[in-house]
Amino acid sequence: MSVTQSLRPIPFIDLQAQRARLGRRVEERIERVLAHGAFIMGPEVGELERRLAAFAGVRHCITCANGTDGLQMALRARDIGPDDAVIVPAFTFVAAAEAVSLVGATPVFADVREEDFNLDPLSIAPAIAAARSAGLRPAGIIAVDLFGQPADYASLETIAAEQGLFLIADAAQSFGAALHGERVGRFGHVTATSFFPSKPLGCYGDGGALFTDDDELAAVMRSLRQHGQGSDRYDHQRVGLNGRLDSIQAAVLLAKLELFEQEIVARQEIAGRYDGALASHANLPRVRAGALSVWAQYTIRVADRDRVAEALKADGIPTAIHYPRPLHHQPAYAGFPIAGSGLARSEKLAGEVLSLPMHAYLDGVTQDHIVASLRRAVAGSDVGRTASGYR
Ligand SMILES: Cc1ncc(COP(=O)(O)O)c(C=O)c1O
């Protein structure tokens, strides 16, 4: 039997394999919620917040309904709104620009670095200038840890302090990652993450969390997620939202947290296998010195992307494009200011990136099949090489 014949359809992210490994952990946790009946703000929510805060090494974890609400609550906790500009990368998922727009502020797009896909600190000054010339007050930065690797927080925190900017870390793809031994959750003034099912730590629905060491911000964000609640349920100190995480989703996350450390290790091994097998065949993702990625995606760059993706598909291998269009080219966001230095790298990356199947349960046989197919797809031509060459 050939390798292909022995394989079930290859999932891009294999939640079923994780489910098998979890055994009855999730069911047992959910059954407890069904028994006590506290579906909103039940004991699982507090337990999860304590565990996640300890995991990340921060004082406060405030769970919430999803990562986008988390970003919005962080912005609102600092009263960021109309006339304020918040700098966001142009090459990322839409949520950062969306949250800024939802609070009435203006997203200003900055460029990313080609080597790690993350916000380029050198693009911040031109973005500040663009905000000012549009008559806006530069108020904050949302740095996104794209594909699982923390952004360059040493540089970004320095710039934010110098310029008086509120720094939010969007760790939707990077919870569990680290920088010089410090886990994600400790960078910026506030970190927001997502527990969307396909994230490195995902629940079985929507979910998110905020992290901070700032007691005051934490108190305001807790209030915001619960209708702006004050001293009691019907005391509303500020306009808030219904932004809570369900007890059942907290129960799922508590069960999954038991395996999370092992999964982070497995993700390193799998990314390492891709690195070793594809080094001379494609332009591979790079992890900066001192960074640990959780490999939410393993994203390569190929010049002839559509043809390569088609070849992989013919071999039963799913791929994805994160992200095909930079945000400043999206109809909803095309009118917002951009850094004066331009967004050339965001535009280039959007045309080259291709994400391969990546999750903690990707077995060696399947990965060999993916590698062989990709090697065949790029063999004998120049298609694996991007303008900047292999890594
Ligand atoms: C980088 C990034 N930020 C924010 C979000 C938003 O999270 P959610 O879907 O939980 O709102 C996502 C993903 O969904 C994301 O990938």
Kindly report the CATH number assigned to the domain that includes residue 268.
3.90.1150.10
Residue 144 in contact with ligand 1 by CB distance below 6 A: yes
In the chain, the number of structural domains is 2
Structure-token pair, residue 44? 């699982």
Domain end (from 233, 254, 275): 254
Distance 293 CA to ligand 1 centre (A): 17
Cβ 68 under 6 angstroms from ligand 1: yes
Ligand 1 center from residue 96 Cα (angstroms): 8
Domain containing 350 equals 261-378
Q: Is 297 in the pocket of ligand 1 (CB under 6 A)?
A: no
Residue among 88, 102, 194 whose CB has most ligand 1 atoms within 8 A, to mutate: 194
Is residue 208 in contact with ligand 1, taking CB distance under 6 Å?
yes
CB distance 172 to ligand 1 below 6 Å? yes
Give the tokens for residue 43.
Answer: 């004991």
Other beta carbons within 10 Å of 370: 26
Which residues, at least 6 apart from 90, have a Cβ–Cβ distance to it below 8 Å?
109, 110, 111, 112, 326, 327, 328, 338, 343, 346
Whole-angstrom distance, CA of residue 70 vs CA of residue 191: 9
Q: What is the pLDDT along the chain (391 residues), one digit of tens a residue?
A: 344 445 579 999 999 999 999 999 999 999 999 999 999 999 999 999 999 999 999 999 999 999 999 999 999 999 999 999 999 999 999 999 999 999 999 999 999 999 899 999 999 999 999 999 999 999 999 999 999 999 999 999 999 999 999 999 999 999 999 999 999 999 999 999 999 999 999 999 999 999 999 999 999 999 999 999 999 999 999 999 999 999 999 999 999 999 999 999 999 999 999 999 999 888 999 999 999 999 999 999 998 999 999 999 999 999 999 999 999 999 999 999 999 988 999 999 999 999 999 999 999 999 999 999 999 999 845 544 554 444 3
296 & 231 share domain = no
φ, ψ at 183 (rounded to 5°): -80, 150
| In a shared domain, residues 228 and 357 | no
Cα 25 from chain centroid?
A: 26
Residue with CA at minimum distance from ligand 1 atom 15: 172
Q: Please check whether residue 51 lies inside any domain of the structure.
A: yes
Using DSSP's 3-state secondary structure scheme, residue 84 falls into strand
Do 175 and 44 belong together in one domain?
Answer: yes
Best of 71, 193, 196, 299 to mutate for ligand 1, by most ligand atoms within 8 A of CB?
Answer: 196
Within-domain flag for 334: yes
b (16+ CB within 10 A) / e for 205-243:
ebbbbbbbeeeebbebbbbbbbbbbeeeeeeeeeebbeb
Q: Which of 203, 219, 254 is at the close of a domain?
A: 254
CA of 319 to the centre of ligand 1 (A): 19
Q: Which residues of 52-86 are buried (b: 16+ CB within 10 A; e: fewer)?
A: bbebbebebbbbbbbbbbbbbbbbbbbebeeebbb
| String of DSSP letters for 301-356 | E-TTHHHHHHHHHHTT---B-S-SS-GGGSTTTTTS-B-TT--HHHHHHHHHEEEE
Shared domain for 265 and 341, answered yes or no, is: yes
Asked whether residue 73 is assigned to any structural domain, the reply reads yes
Q: What is the CATH number of the domain that holds 187?
A: 3.40.640.10
Answer yes or no: is the C-beta of 95 below 6 A from any ligand 1 atom: yes
Q: Is the separation of the CB atoms in 249 and 203 below 8 Å?
A: yes
Q: Among 93, 225, 295, which residue has the most ligand 1 atoms within 8 Å of its CB, making it the best to mutate?
A: 93
63 CA → ligand 1 middle, Å: 14
Do 53 and 61 contact (CB within 8 A), yes or no?
yes
| End-of-domain residue from the set 254, 280, 315 | 254
H helix runs in the chain, sequence order: 3-6, 15-22, 25-36, 43-56, 67-77, 95-102, 124-133, 153-163, 215-224, 247-278, 305-314, 344-352, 364-378
1 belongs to a structural domain: no
Same domain, 205 and 265: no
Which atom of ligand 1 is nearest to 207's Cα? 10
Would residue 256 show up in a list of annotated catalytic residues for this protein? Answer: no
**3-class secondary structure, 237:** coil
Do 90 and 238 belong to one domain?
yes
Secondary structure tally for the chain: helices H, strands E: 13, 12
Co-location of 213 and 310 in the same domain: no
